[in-house]
Structure 1
Amino acid sequence: MEYQTFLDNIYVVFVEAETPGNIGFLARAMKNFALQNLILINPCKLANEAYFQASHGRDIVNNSLKFDSLGEFLEEVPIDFVVGTTGMPGGSYRLSRIPLKPEKMVQSINSKGKIAFLFGREGNGLSNEELELCDITVSIPAHPSYPVMNISHAAAIIFYELFKNLYEFDVEGLEEASLVEKNYLLGEMDKIVKNVDLPPHKIKTANRAFKNIIGRSFITAREAHTLTGLLRRIKIKMGQR
């Protein structure tokens, strides 16, 4: 699938992870969004906690690649676009820390090459020097009382933004109602409205309002059939045919 080819070219880079649990949590978030390439830069020693917290993402931890430094990784792996993450966005005085929101970040990345997402240390994040290596910086807005997110939580938000436009859910029962099905529903409502002693102009207004609601909503075929059946039962209770 095309979206999987795109995801296969994404590298998730964790710089100097301090706890094995966060490595596992990050791998778990990656698994949720079909990402496979985990890069660990000078990490803490992997322990059982990393595999436990990874849950179904244990294979991602097992297959992770380790490098002594970020520079070594960027020299050995031909990355086309580097995205840095920061919980401490800056301004004009620190250009490398002028961030994009996640949804804007997705519009800015070069999706045809290899992309690296850099996540920094749990305590201090990425350094200014590391952010200088990035093409863009992304930050997630959070409440000022506690603006810095756990790495796995931030990563999941970013991964979701990458993934959400690539994959369509195939869920049974979500087929949109056809014009015929919508017209049956409108017809049943029209019969009820005509039987409640409204003036002609209000009948027209009521039918127009109901049609507007149906037109603006994404009504599924099953919902249309259910509502049509309900209106028919109301007609029977009212003594209509």
Structure 2
Amino acid sequence: MLENIRIVLVQTFHPGNIGASARAMKTMGLNQLTLVNPRQFPDEEASRLAAGAEDVVDNARVVTTLEEAITDCVQVVGASARLRNMPLPHYDEPDDMARDIVSFASDAPVALVFGRERFGLTNEEIRCCTHQVSIPANPDYGILNLSQAVQVLAYEVFRAWRHRPDSNFKTAAPRSTPLPTQQQVTQFHDHLHRVMQDIGFLTQPHARTGDHMHALFTRAQPTRKELSILRGFLNSIEQKAGPSRCVDAGVNGDAPKK
């Protein structure tokens, strides 16, 4: 199960923080590290500060976009201060997040996403996530180093996994209702946005209707089957609007069969 839990670091500035984060991960049984546009990597400082977790650093996957890092994940949790203007589900307590992410990881990849050392994740990057999580801290000085934040959340994840009543350090049973990947979810939202534009529903851009619809379906967390039904519903609307605009109703985004 822990193999399905991915730590994603976005545009890390100091290579030493990559090594220290790898060390924090390995102490909690995590080894899936993905780096999005690191400023400097590979680097001797990253290997030096890994201090026994060099294998995590050496096997790190490097990608150019956050979307590429999480495309196959069914849950993506962004670590950040709570943003009231982002209507995503938010975990106020890391242990609540950890229990959920361990449950989802029983049969599909999930991700914990950490932003830059100085200013974290951008609003656009948080929109790529399904949830947010914050680490409770001293309100007068709530500043954590990147690797410290990784350590705290990695510990909560390991603790939740270790205390699962059905795990006993073993792989839990797969979920009976698999969730869609982020690639499939993105295809659905693109389809929904296109249909809303085509039927003239998006008449007030300032209302952020698209953002609210995105948040609605994120909270609902439809299964793959439910997402397929929604795609079929959108496809039917497009057929009424004009056959040339039809797309496949499945969740894989394939071209329609003739």
Amino acid at match of 1:56: G
Instruction: Using the TM superposition, give the Cα deviation of residue 55 of structure 1 relative to its aligned residue in structure 2, in angstroms.
Output: 0.4
Question: Identical aligned pairs, as a percentage?
Answer: 36
Instruction: Using the TM superposition, give the Cα deviation of residue 41 of structure 1 relative to its aligned residue in structure 2, in angstroms.
Output: 0.3
The equivalent position to 2:31 in structure 1, one of 27, 36, 42, is: 36
Q: Per the alignment, in what secondary structure is the counterpart of residue 83 of structure 1?
A: strand
CA distance in 2, matches of 1:94, 1:165: 27
Q: Per the alignment, in what secondary structure is the counterpart of residue 77 of structure 2?
A: strand
CA distance in 2, matches of 1:167, 1:142: 25
Amino acid at match of 2:155: Y
Residue aligning to 1:83: 77
Residues 165 and 101 of structure 1: CA distance in aligned 2, closer, same or farther (over 3 Å): closer
Contact 2:91 2:133 in 1 (8 A): yes
CA distance in 2, matches of 1:61, 1:21: 11
Superposed CA deviations along residues 81-140 of structure 1, whole A, max 9, x for unmatched, are 111101x2123x332384431011123332332111101000110111111111111110
Count of residue correspondences = 159
The equivalent position to 1:60 in structure 2, one of 56, 59, 72, is: 56
Contact 1:119 1:151 in 2 (8 A): yes
CA distance in 2, matches of 1:59, 1:107: 27
* RMSD of Structure 2 on Structure 1 (CA): 1.7
* TM-score, normalised relative to structure 2: 0.58
Superposed CA deviations along residues 126-159 of structure 1, whole A, max 9, x for unmatched, are 1111111111111101112221211111111111
Q: Per the alignment, in what secondary structure is the counterpart of residue 136 of structure 2?
A: coil
CA distance in 1, matches of 2:12, 2:25: 16
Structure 1 unaligned residues grouped into runs of 5+: 1-5, 169-241
Question: Counterparts in 2 of 1:139-150, with a 5 A limit?
Answer: 139-150=134-145
Instruction: Using the TM superposition, give the Cα deviation of residue 51 of structure 1 relative to its aligned residue in structure 2, in angstroms.
Output: 0.6
The equivalent position to 2:105 in structure 1, one of 99, 106, 111, is: 111
* TM-score, normalised relative to structure 1: 0.62
Superposed CA deviations along residues 28-48 of structure 1, whole A, max 9, x for unmatched, are 001101111110000021221
Residue aligning to 1:131: 126
Contact 2:79 2:114 in 1 (8 A): yes
**Moved runs in structure 1, 4+ residues, more than 3 A?**
96-99, 165-168
CA distance in 2, matches of 1:106, 1:29: 16
CA distance in 1, matches of 2:65, 2:160: 33
Amino acid at match of 1:48: E
- 1:15 equivalenced with 2:16 (yes/no): no
CA distance in 2, matches of 1:37, 1:89: 26
- 1:69 equivalenced with 2:65 (yes/no): yes
Contact 1:97 1:131 in 2 (8 A): no
Amino acid at match of 2:112: F
